[in-house]
Amino acid sequence: MFCHRIYTMKTDPLITFPKPEIGKEMKGADAVIECLVREGVEVMFAYPGGASQDLHQALARCDKIRTILPRHEQGGAFAAEGYARTTGKAGVCMATSGPGATNLITAIADAFMDSTPMVAITGQVKQQFIGKSAFQETDIFGMTLPIVKHSYLVLKAEDIPAVIKEAFHIATSGRPGPVLVDIPKDVQQTLIQPVYSQKVEIRSYEPARKADDADLNDVIGLVSRAQKPVLYVGGGIISGDAHDELLRFAERANIPVTSTLMGVGCFPETHPLSLKWFGMHGTVSGNYAVHESDLLLAFGVRFDDRITGEVSRFAPNATIVHIDIDASEHNKNKIVQYPIVSDIKYALGRMNELMEKSGFKTPGRKGWLEKVEGWRKTYPFAYHKPDKNFILAQEAIRTLFELTHGEAIITTGVGQHQMWAAQFYDFVKPRSFISSLGLGAMGFGYPAALGAKVASPDREVIDIDGDGSFLMNIQELATARIENIGAKALVLNNQHLGMVVQWEDRFYNSARAHTILGDKDNIGSPENLTGLYPNFVEIAKGFGVPGRLVYKQEELRDAIQEMLDCDGPYVLDVIVPYTEHVLPMIPAGKTVDDMIIE
Angle at 136 between CA 133 and CA 441, to 5 degrees: 115
Beta-carbon contacts of 406 under 8 Å, excluding residues fewer than 6 positions away, are 425, 426, 427, 428
Q: Rounded distance, CA 517 to CA 217, Å?
A: 56
Q: Rounded distance, CA 171 to CA 318, Å?
A: 34
- The answer to whether the CB of 335 falls within 8 A of the CB of 318 is no
Q: Is residue 36, in this structure, part of any structural domain at all?
A: yes
Q: Are strands 488-493 and 195-196 parallel, antiparallel or unpaired?
A: unpaired
Name the 3-class secondary structure at 430: coil
| Judgement on whether residues 239 and 149 belong to the same structural domain of the protein | no
Count CB-CB contacts under 10 A for residue 331: 12
Residues with a catalytic annotation lie at 73, 135-136, 185, 499
In this prediction, residue 320 carries a pLDDT of 98
| Judgement on whether residues 191 and 224 belong to the same structural domain of the protein | no
Q: Are strands 118-124 and 150-153 parallel, antiparallel or unpaired?
A: unpaired
Q: Rounded distance, CA 369 to CA 385, Å?
A: 31
| Judgement on whether residues 350 and 464 belong to the same structural domain of the protein | no
For the chain, how many structural domains are there in total?
3
Per-residue pLDDT of the chain (598 residues; tens, 9 = 90+): 444 444 443 344 444 445 789 999 999 999 999 999 999 999 999 999 999 999 999 999 999 999 999 999 999 999 999 999 999 999 999 999 999 999 999 999 999 999 999 999 999 999 999 999 999 999 999 999 999 999 999 999 999 999 999 999 999 999 999 999 999 999 999 999 999 988 888 988 989 899 999 999 999 999 999 999 999 999 999 999 999 999 999 999 999 999 999 999 999 999 999 999 999 999 999 999 999 999 999 999 999 999 999 999 999 999 999 999 999 999 999 999 999 999 999 999 999 999 999 999 999 999 999 999 999 999 999 998 877 789 999 999 999 999 999 999 999 999 999 999 999 999 999 999 999 999 999 999 999 999 999 999 999 999 999 999 999 999 999 999 999 999 999 999 999 999 999 999 999 999 999 999 988 877 666 666 767 889 999 999 999 999 999 999 999 999 999 999 999 999 999 999 999 999 999 999 999 999 999 8
| Judgement on whether residues 151 and 49 belong to the same structural domain of the protein | yes
Count CB-CB contacts under 10 A for residue 292: 18
Q: Is residue 203, in this structure, part of any structural domain at all?
A: no
* CATH code of 426's domain: 3.40.50.970
Q: Is residue 231, in this structure, part of any structural domain at all?
A: yes
Q: Rounded distance, CA 410 to CA 426, Å?
A: 11
| Judgement on whether residues 234 and 356 belong to the same structural domain of the protein | yes
Q: Is residue 591, in this structure, part of any structural domain at all?
A: no
Type and span of the H or E element at 454:
helix 445-455
Q: Which of 294, 306, 304 is nearest to 334 (CA)?
A: 304
Boundaries of domain holding 145: 9-196
Q: Where are the beta strands (DSSP E) in 128-217?
A: 150-153, 178-184, 191-192, 195-196
| Judgement on whether residues 296 and 417 belong to the same structural domain of the protein | no
Count CB-CB contacts under 10 A for residue 568: 14
| Judgement on whether residues 236 and 131 belong to the same structural domain of the protein | no
| Judgement on whether residues 415 and 314 belong to the same structural domain of the protein | no
pTM tops 0.85, yes or no: yes
* Alpha helix positions (H), 298-444: 305-308, 344-358, 366-378, 393-404, 416-424
| Judgement on whether residues 353 and 230 belong to the same structural domain of the protein | yes
Angle at 82 between CA 300 and CA 301, to 5 degrees: 10
In this prediction, residue 524 carries a pLDDT of 61
